Amino acid sequence: MVGSVDFDETRTAYITARMPGRLDRLFVDYTGVQVKKGDHMASIYSPELLSAQQELLQAIDSVKALTNSESSIVRDVSQSTVDAVREKLRLWGLTPEQIQQIETRGTPMDHVTLYSPVGGIVIHKNAQEGSYVKTGDRIYTVADLSHVWVQIEAYESDLPWLRYGQKVSFTTEAWPGETFKGKIAFIDPVLNAATRTVNVRVNVDNPELQMKPGMFVSAVAYPLISEDGKVANPSLAGKWICPMHPEVVKDAPGTCDICGMKLVTAEELGYVTPTPTNAPLVIPATAPLITGTRAVVYVEVPDQDKPTYEGREIVLGPKAGNVYIVHSGLKEGERVVTQGAFKLDAELQIHAKPSMMSPEGGSALMDHGKMKMEP
């Protein structure tokens, strides 16, 4: 399957203005810059922030002035004002160190530095130096690329093989010879009508940042198939999973790290099927001749003087890479024609013997003519 690297949406953060003001300096002034949690991002001038600082300093002064006051109630009121303003500043994104600095200096600062609450790559700069921002306006978008998504475009014919939790390995053009691994974390319930594909999301650890969003990948899934041709998924047996975040898998009951929801068993979510005891029967994909409704293979008849083959109608399961799963009609060990089966079939039609096109045999001329009309 083919796909591409994408940002992990759950690890993309916006740095927003928490108070209205003017951005007088953007320390990160182009996209692509890598930032660590706590790095300075922008310097903002905000009248609201200025007055909040004044309010804080006044409240501190009055607490000091009331230290020897007989009225503890008045003192408590002033103290709670101090606490409330500190909290307001904290919610505006000021660090405890910045608040301490204001209190120590005793005078408000005109500009306050905003720090990054997360680490990652700045993938979008939403504001310009000198622009005014309102509360909630985005200043930067930061993406943590230590973990990325690989979005695979799976064809309808790939779908029978894909299950949640399966391992997928893939290669990229940028790192030839290197194979990366991930796990299927989401299979889109809706088919993309334009491309006739289904989006399959694979979660990938990217500690060395080798995967870059936008890169193309070539991916392979390795489903475990049981004897009856069904995909088995025993790896999650006995595990506990968040119904909303299936990537959260634990060994014991508990709650989801992401949303706090109660975990349920993988069995309950239908993710587990038992380990198969026997592998399914498969034949090379070049062996069967397939019309819309029927599949015929030519099987070697053993112990004959001359090589002899007989046509046989079989029931196939889905195709997996270079093989087809056989539901019925063949036994393990039987030899099938893998090259030239079509020639053999055409020859039989010429001789009016049963063939793929005419299972009951028939007029040699008729069938011969029909063959010629085939592309």
- Where along the sequence are the contacts to Zn ion (CB under 5 A)? 242, 244-245, 256, 258-259, 261
Q: Between the CA atoms of 245, 249, 254 and 257, what dihedral angle is there, to the nearest 10 degrees?
A: -50
What is the DSSP annotation of 300-331?
A: EPSS-SS--EEEEEEEEEEEETTEEEEEES--
In the bound state with Zn ion, the residue whose beta carbon lies nearer, of 250 and 370, is 250
Smallest gap from residue 240 Cβ to Zn ion (A): 11
At 143 the three-state DSSP class reads strand
Residue 91 and residue 110: Cα distance in Å, rounded? 18
Smallest gap from residue 235 Cβ to Zn ion (A): 20
Residue 119 and residue 134: Cα distance in Å, rounded? 24
Smallest gap from residue 241 Cβ to Zn ion (A): 9
Residues, the chain: 375
Smallest gap from residue 236 Cβ to Zn ion (A): 16
CA 119 to chain centre: 20
In the bound state with Zn ion, the residue whose beta carbon lies nearer, of 84 and 258, is 258
Smallest gap from residue 269 Cβ to Zn ion (A): 12
Sign of the CA dihedral running 174, 175, 177, 183: negative
At 348 the three-state DSSP class reads helix
Smallest gap from residue 188 Cβ to Zn ion (A): 19
Residue 154 and residue 165: Cα distance in Å, rounded? 16
In the bound state with Zn ion, the residue whose beta carbon lies nearer, of 245 and 294, is 245
In the bound state with Zn ion, the residue whose beta carbon lies nearer, of 245 and 368, is 245
Smallest gap from residue 185 Cβ to Zn ion (A): 12
For Zn ion, which residue has the nearest CB? 256
Q: Between the CA atoms of 160, 161, 166 and 172, what dihedral angle is there, to the nearest 10 degrees?
A: -120
Q: How does DSSP classify residue 149?
A: E
Q: Between the CA atoms of 86, 92, 93 and 99, what dihedral angle is there, to the nearest 10 degrees?
A: -30
Give the DSSP H or E segment for 112: strand 111-115
In the bound state with Zn ion, the residue whose beta carbon lies nearer, of 84 and 244, is 244
In the bound state with Zn ion, the residue whose beta carbon lies nearer, of 10 and 157, is 10
In the bound state with Zn ion, the residue whose beta carbon lies nearer, of 11 and 25, is 11
